[in-house]
Structure 1
Amino acid sequence: MAPVSTALTRAEALALRMAALRLRPHPTAAPLATVAEVVEWFGAMQAQDLASGMWSLGVRLPGSTHADVHAALERREALRTWPMRGTIHLVPARDARWLLELTGVRALAGAARRRAFLGLSEAEADRAADVLGGVLAGGGRLTRTECVAALVAAGIDGAGQRGYHLLWYAAQRGVTCIAPNVGSEQTFALLDEWAPGQRQLDRDEALATLALRYFRGHGPTTRQDFAGWTGLTAADAKRAIAAAGDELTTVDLDGVPAVLSAPLTDTPHTPADAPGTPVDTPHLPADDVLALPGFDEYLLGFKDRALMLDPEHRQAIVPGGNGVFQATVVVGGRVVGTWKRSLTKTRVTLTVHPLVDLTAARREQVERALSRYADFLALPPRVTWA
């Protein structure tokens, strides 16, 4: 990796980060046109909440609809599984196995305590994976309820959280993956049948690929953020960055080394509004007013979120610190509010909770951003302000 050569202001760093997150035009990369391109750009995207994951894709594919994204997942442009930290992510379909092997080791190692709590043995978990492998073989695809029923029919107790843990375990071992929903139900398929031709990478190549994609999609940010996102040890995170070589470089951000994709350092960058700048700055374009899902990489891709989020607003974004992130309204790269949706068959109601004062003109821009989400759902919107 190239040494520190540039010092960035916080405003410049935020501008580059928003471009890396593909929430602004990128100065060195072509626009992303497909679900496959979006997911490969990031390497993995938070998708524990399916509705959030779908809009994370939609917001980066202007003009797309929920039906378009669902169809792309049915075409297997990406899939969902549990590669990192035991959390569901969207990943490139052909990269699922090496990601599981690289980042899932620590989650599997820590699963013994969970099994003990649930009254499961490792032998039972392994037998459950074998049962699922059998019932799904030959192109099978079952809902979560049907998978648990198959386990019960084989004499394995799938009651309560036991069934969920066994489904997680089978996917963590690379036996199964999460296929697109059928209606509102989660479905499962065999990984090697749903996404044949899995790429095989040696450990250093896998570490380098993961580091390159993370910093390409999130930088500039720190090695600590990378370790937190991947669940890798600090030593492996350092090794991964080194393995990426000159494709990554470091910059100085408030006296801290921050890593980013090397080509970005050679491009002019228009600063986003610096932390503390009023959100009603006249020059701010309407396109820089965003309605993002709660579990987007914009916040969940980082341990340190100070560039995007004022500390006084943390409680509003993750009430009670329970890990459930609220959907955010973002202006100039900074969180200025939250929003919630309420769906009926004929309308989506979108309720905004501002965290700062917004003028009538800025509120109109926020409503336009929310209308893009309504268009994604192909439903007329009704926007209310709390």
Structure 2
Amino acid sequence: MTHQEISHHRLVSQKLYKKTKSSPQEIVRHFGAMQAQDYAMAKWAIGSRCDASEVAIEEAINSAQIIRTHILRPTWHFVSADDIYWMLDLSSPQVKRFTNSAAKKYGYDDKKLDQINLAIEKMLAGNNHMTRDEIMQELNIKKSSSQEFLPGTIIMNAELDGLVCNGKMKGKQITYALLEERVLKPITKLTKEEALAKLAKRYFESHGPATLLDFSWWSGFPRTTCKIALNALELQLNFVETEGQTYWFGNQISDENHFRESVHFLPAFDEILISYKTREVSILLEHQSKAFTNNGIFKPIIMENGKVIGTWKRTIKKDHAKIETQFFNETESSKKEILFEGIKAFENYLEMKIVIE
């Protein structure tokens, strides 16, 4: 399997061909978790894979069909309400090592964090949705340059403990609410082995063909742990060896997934790039610094036939959205017109006129 073929099959597994109709929640559930620290762009990551508008996706998030919280690695992710509890049970102990270490720098041990959680639970009880600043004000924790990351650490700890998750948006402000008031807690729990195997299967089916190292990077679990999960799944997955690498993928990939011409305007931090340890399959090495930085900042990208050929940015105006593009190589005007057909999906998603500059 060549890099071009791997890239094509990833478009299929990542649902960028929209072969079947899916709801926003179904898209998120398919992926297991979708990186979501850039909230506006993360909504488009869902929208680019289904026909839902931004308004419809926002409603799915506000109604808790989709949860936005810190999980895996850690960073913001979208997770389906169906998956939030077992995934938190699996990843929280590992991720909390980072948050607990950060909290201790501010003099907050486990006991003090538990006391903070009790206070947060009381103030949010009864479907009360509050912003982080409002919560910190109630906790009497003032903004300080010496404790710049303390509020974020406190909230992340509460998220990882399964206490809070995103609430309804308050204008453009993110709020927090009690997770158990938004999503009913399941009666049964998965074992760690069952949950890890479930996460691995979800990853390779939605991101494959991908390597063991890719899964380790995406999930945040050590390679040895991921290898155990992969060994348990061998009979449920397919694999191919290319250039000394073993790529795993789900049974849904077949020779019937013929290549097709495609153009995609994808958001910053999209799973098509960020969910893999190395990205040479989808973007040439000499162009990678133009699409993402060494410290993990990813730009919105333009993909043609599975290869990243440029970047783009959008500016929302009063009655339209302005799109600016930057291609890696000189592009003829006639070809640009064909490429710009790919932006129509974004126009439909925004339900707003697009102006390309």
Whether the TM-score (by the shorter chain) exceeds 0.5 is yes
Summarize deviations over 1:289-310 as a string: whole Å, max 9, x none: 1100011101111011111011
Among candidates 286, 299, 313, match of residue 326 of structure 1: 299
SS in 2 for 1:269: coil
Match of 1:359 in 2: 332
Task: Verify: 1:345 aligned to 2:318, yes or no.
Answer: yes
Cα pair 1:70 1:180 within 8 Å, conserved = no
> 1:353 corresponds to which letter in structure 2?
Q
Cα pair 2:62 2:169 within 8 Å, conserved = no
What is the distance in 2 between the residues matched to 1:12 and 1:299?
16
SS in 2 for 1:120: coil
SS in 1 for 2:77: strand
Match of 1:4 in 2: none
> 1:24 corresponds to which letter in structure 2?
Y
Residues 195-204 or 223-232, more deviating = 195-204
Among candidates 65, 75, 97, match of residue 53 of structure 2: 65
Match of 1:124 in 2: 112
Alignment: residue pair count: 353
> 2:333 corresponds to which letter in structure 1?
A
Summarize deviations over 1:260-313 as a string: whole Å, max 9, x none: 002424x43324xxxxxxxxxxxx63xx11100011101111011111011111
Among candidates 4, 10, 14, match of residue 17 of structure 1: 10
What is the distance in 2 between the residues matched to 1:164 and 1:189?
15
**Structure 2 residues not aligned, in runs of 5+:** none
SS in 2 for 1:325: coil
What is the distance in 2 between the residues matched to 1:380 and 1:25?
23
CA RMSD of aligned residues (A): 1.8
Cα pair 2:204 2:249 within 8 Å, conserved = yes
Cα pair 1:221 1:259 within 8 Å, conserved = yes
Task: Verify: 1:204 aligned to 2:193, yes or no.
Answer: yes
Among candidates 348, 351, 355, match of residue 375 of structure 1: 348
Summarize deviations over 1:189-231 as a string: whole Å, max 9, x none: 1111111133621112111110111001110110110000001
> 1:120 corresponds to which letter in structure 2?
Y
Q: What displacement does 1:119 show?
A: 4.4
Q: What displacement does 1:172 show?
A: 1.1
Summarize deviations over 1:47-103 as a string: whole Å, max 9, x none: 1110111000110112x2110111122232211111101101001113212212212
Aligned pairs for 1:1-386 within 5 A: 8-25=1-18, 31-62=20-51, 64-152=52-140, 156-157=141-142, 159=144, 160-198=148-186, 200-265=189-254, 267-271=255-259, 285=261, 288-319=262-293, 321-384=294-357
SS in 2 for 1:358: coil
**Structure 1 residues not aligned, in runs of 5+:** 1-7, 272-283
Q: What displacement does 1:158 show?
A: 5.8
Q: TM-score, normalised by structure 2?
A: 0.93
* Compared CA separation, residues 81 and 377, structure 1 to 2 (3 A): same
Cα pair 2:29 2:83 within 8 Å, conserved = no
Q: TM-score, normalised by structure 1?
A: 0.86
> 1:19 corresponds to which letter in structure 2?
V
Overall identity of the aligned pairs, in %: 27
What is the distance in 2 between the residues matched to 1:255 and 1:163?
45
Cα pair 1:81 1:96 within 8 Å, conserved = no
Q: What displacement does 1:244 show?
A: 2.8
Q: What displacement does 1:352 show?
A: 0.3
What is the distance in 2 between the residues matched to 1:95 and 1:158?
34
What is the distance in 1 between the residues matched to 2:302 and 2:139?
43
Residues 35-44 or 365-374, more deviating = 365-374
> 1:293 corresponds to which letter in structure 2?
P
What is the distance in 2 between the residues matched to 1:132 and 1:158?
18
SS in 1 for 2:76: strand
